[in-house]
Amino acid sequence: MPDFDKVTLLVGDSATELEIVASTQGHSGLDISKLMAATGLSSFDPAFVNTASTKSAITYIDGDQGILRYRGYPIEQVAELKSFTETSYLLIYGAFPTATELTDFEKKISVRTEHIQQLDGFFRSFPKDAHPMAVLSAAVSALSTFYPETLDPGSEAAIEESTLRLLAMVPVVTAYAHKASIGEDFVAPRPELSMVDNFLNMTFGSNEIPFEQNLIVSKALDTLLLLHADHEQNCSTSTVRLVGSSQANLYASVSAGVNALSGPLHGGANEAVIEMLELINKTSETVETYVERVKNKEDNVRLMGFGHRVYKSFDPRAKIVKATADQVLSELGVTDPLLAVAKQLEAIALADDYFVSRKLYPNVDFYTGVIYKALGFPPKMFTPLFAIGRMPGWIAHWREMNSEANTRISRPQQVYIGEAERSI
Ligand code: ACO
């Protein structure tokens, strides 16, 4: 919090006072909502590098210190002590559930899982090599047609119902997108299983032979989902809020979030990292030649899984993921040369001035792919897994935005640089 509560902006001879919007932690904001009316100028901030689009009480990040907290709780503690479902509850409702609340929440979710047979043809209608992120976003949008009573953003009951439906059904439709892509039958959800075990069974099991539950696999996936659960106003979450600001329903808003997440600079990076590691492992490309190409910006090639808009010292999630990768591969008895390539790349980059001077460090996506691979997921499923993890965060932000009395439709300005009026 700065030690002043106003900033005076001088435009020509006229002074405009801008108020400070106080934070409880981190950057406070300069309220420029009256800027255009007072000065005739809009603010110009490409990629929103300096712009706070909202107040929020869900997640706090200090990018210089490598701090991430969900509702005030450090990510390290959450990852060690809580499950993905408890974390989802925390993000959405503001506090961890009691034991009874947790059982109730789990039940509310599990009874809302279902195999919607009308969607079977939908999943089968895509080309075999369709990317599951495209199918997932379409499926999330399609879900809204099956639950019309849950669409009204003005109804608390509808919001609660769509929240539970999405938490229940996104793992189901993600698993079905996978099954369709490998030409296997869909596996009916089993409400008696935990969310993670149910998802693993629908993904890797069959109706005849259930997936053999494995505590190491379940725990590893649960931790990865939890680490992705929220990250304040990132690209996909901002998309969800922006779409929701038009009073589009929760499914439509989240479906847009899935699309925003799919890009390689955002959630799609986890798949791109594995492709990069495989390129180095399987071709004449070496760690050194790859890093040189990155530094020379050849064909705009980047060190995928490195760098972050906010984190400038380290990404606390990446630290946990790296330790988890070592542990899971060793517990599962998997030796993957890609883990060694990733570690080599990290070591070389962290000692190189190109990356050090630009404050580029491994982000959450750098080591996740190696774990997902060890758990048996194909690379195309990595970003959908991220989407399952991010679901509670998107929902929490949409609800926070929707519950504010003064929420208006989001509508940025532009600085027009086209032709002045001319005649044909
Ligand atoms: N490899 C090589 N150079 C990089 C990388 C990278 N991964 N990231 C940034 N840089 C360089 C840029 O070329 C630029 O260099 P310059 O000053 O010489 O022009 C400088 O670092 C600043 O980069 P920007 O692109 O301006 O940083 P921005 O904050 O806009 O982008 C981003 C952040 C998209 C994450 C970027 O670091 C990146 O592309 N990383 C690789 C993709 C990735 O891992 N994305 C996942 C992010 S985490 C998440 O969304 C879940």
Region 67-83: mean pLDDT is 98
Q: State yes or no: is 365 an active-site residue.
A: yes
Is the confidence at residue 337, as pLDDT, over 80?
A: yes
Q: Supply the pLDDT for residue 273.
A: 97
CA distance 86 to 265: 29
Which structure tokens are listed for 183?
A: 């030409």
The reply to whether ligand 1 has any atom less than 6 angstroms from the CB of 373 is: no
Q: Given the CA of residue 266, which atom of ligand 1 is nearest to it?
A: 50
Mean pLDDT of 170-191: 97
- Give me the pLDDT at residue 2, please: 77
Which 3 state secondary structure label does DSSP give 216?
A: helix
Q: What's the mean per-residue pLDDT of the chain?
A: 96
Ligand 1 atom with the shortest distance to the CA of 366: 44
- Residue 196: per-residue pLDDT: 97
Q: Is the CB of 269 under 6 A from ligand 1?
A: yes
Q: Which residue lies with its CA nearest to atom 45 of ligand 1? A: 265
Cβ-contact 166, 395 below 8 angstroms: yes
- 302 Cβ below 6 A of ligand 1: yes
The yes-or-no verdict on residue 1 having pLDDT over 80 is no
For 168-186, what is the mean pLDDT?
97
**What is the rounded distance in angstroms from the CA atom of residue 211 to the CA atom of residue 388?**
19
- The closest alpha carbon to 274, from 393, 386, 390, 352, belongs to 386
What is the spatial distance between Cα 16 and Cα 8, in angstroms, rounded to a whole number? 6
Q: How far is it, in rounded angstroms, from Cα 92 to Cα 399? A: 8
Q: Is the pLDDT of residue 91 over 90?
A: yes
For residue 15 the two structure tokens come to 């002074």
Ligand 1 pocket test target in 68, 228, 265, 301 with most atoms within 8 Å of CB = 265
Shortest-distance atom of ligand 1 to CA 309: 29
Atom 37 of ligand 1, residue of closest alpha carbon: 307
328 pLDDT more than 90: yes
- At residue 230, the pLDDT reads 98
pLDDT tens-place string over residues 352-398: 999 999 999 999 999 999 999 999 999 999 999 999 999 999 999 99
pLDDT at 75 over 80: yes
Q: What is the pLDDT of residue 20?
A: 96
Residue 145 has pLDDT above 80, yes or no: yes
Q: Atom 32 in ligand 1: which residue has the minimum CA distance?
A: 308
Lowest mean pLDDT, pick from 4-8, 133-137, 198-202, 237-241:
4-8
Q: How big is the CA angle at 318 (ends 314 and 323), to the nearest 5 degrees? A: 120
pLDDT, position 5: 84
Instruction: Give the Cα separation of 171 and 112 in Å (integer).
Output: 12
Evaluate: CB of 365 within 6 angstroms of ligand 1. Answer: yes
Nearest CA to ligand 1 atom 4: 302
Q: How confident is the model at residue 3 (pLDDT cuts 50, 70, 90)?
A: confident
Q: Is the CB of 257 under 6 A from ligand 1?
A: no
Q: Does pLDDT of 4 surpass 90? A: no
Atom of ligand 1 nearest to the CA of 363: 48
pLDDT at position 405, please? Answer: 85
Share of the chain above pLDDT 70, in %: 100
Per-residue pLDDT averaged across 115-144, rounded?
97
The response to whether residue 266 sits with its C-beta less than 6 Å from ligand 1 reads yes
Spatial neighbors of 192 by CB under 8 A, at least 6 apart, are 110
For a ligand 1 pocket test, name from 235, 309, 358 the mutation site with the most ligand atoms within 8 angstroms of its C-beta: 358
Angle at 234 between CA 110 and CA 6, to 5 degrees: 125
**From residue 134, how far is each of 90, 381, 395 by CA, in Å?**
29, 11, 20
pLDDT value, residue 406: 84
Mean pLDDT confidence for 167-171: 98
Q: What is the pLDDT of residue 82?
A: 98
| Closest approach atom of ligand 1 to CA 302 | 1
**Does the pLDDT at position 260 exceed 90?**
yes
Question: Rounded to whole angstroms, how far apart are CA atoms 386 and 84?
Answer: 13
Which residues are within 8 A (CB) of 349 and not within 5 positions of it... i.e. 6 or more apart?
291, 303, 306, 355, 360
